[in-house]
């Protein structure tokens, strides 16, 4: 249920904090699929592309799910990252829970291990600061916005 939730309810219920849900566009191309959201393009893994193709899924609006622990901060200005505004920085011991607002008003939570951050990086994570994050394509979950069922199950 954690790795391949059947629907939005299960995806949001299993895990703490719950999975982040982002509006995206699934785009089918001759060489596979990609998700487009917040100005970035996330090519999907070969396994996910195979599953979508077998199910005959075409280009469509989707809800992309990504778990907070599968997100990574980007401090080097890398392309293909999502920008947000930090609203809350919770020190949870070995990790930070960063509550971030995106341009469209969507709020997400990022779980970032403290060992992966330098002192300067940690000091930069203050209320109202802009930050950028990404996630590996292999952890993306895709849901139909109408039925709320997984497109990958």
pLDDT tens readout for residues 38-81: 999 999 999 999 999 999 999 999 999 999 999 999 998 777 89
Instruction: Report the run of H or E that residue 54 belongs to, with start and end.
Output: helix 46-54
pTM over 0.75: yes
Q: For 11-32, how does the pLDDT look when each residue is reduced to its tens digit (9 = 90+)?
A: 888 778 999 999 999 999 888 9
**Quick one: which of 24, 20, 26, 25 has its CA closest to 8?**
20
Q: Which of 133, 84, 128, 81 is nearest to 112 (CA)?
A: 133
Whole-number Å distance between alpha carbons of 63 and 72: 20
Domains with residue ranges and CATH for the chain? 8-67+139-143 (2.40.50.100), 72-134 (2.40.50.140)
- Residue percentage of the chain with pLDDT more than 70: 99
């Amino acid at each position: 249920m954690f790795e391949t939730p059947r629907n939005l309810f299960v995806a949001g219920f299993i895990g703490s904090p719950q999975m982040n849900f982002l509006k995206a566009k699934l785009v089918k191309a001759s060489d596979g699929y990609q998700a487009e959201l917040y100005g970035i393009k996330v090519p999907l893994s070969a396994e996910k592309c195979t599953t979508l193709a077998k199910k005959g899924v075409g280009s469509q609006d989707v809800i992309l799910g990504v778990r907070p622990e599968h997100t990574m901060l980007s401090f080097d200005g890398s392309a293909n990252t999502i920008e947000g505004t930090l609203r809350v920085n919770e020190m949870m011991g070995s990790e930070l829970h960063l509550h971030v607002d995106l341009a469209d008003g969507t709020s997400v939570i990022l779980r970032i291990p403290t060992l992966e951050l330098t002192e300067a990086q940690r000091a930069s994570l203050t209320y109202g600061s802009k930050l950028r994050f990404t996630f590996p394509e292999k952890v993306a979950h895709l849901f139909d916005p109408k039925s709320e069922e997984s497109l990958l199950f």
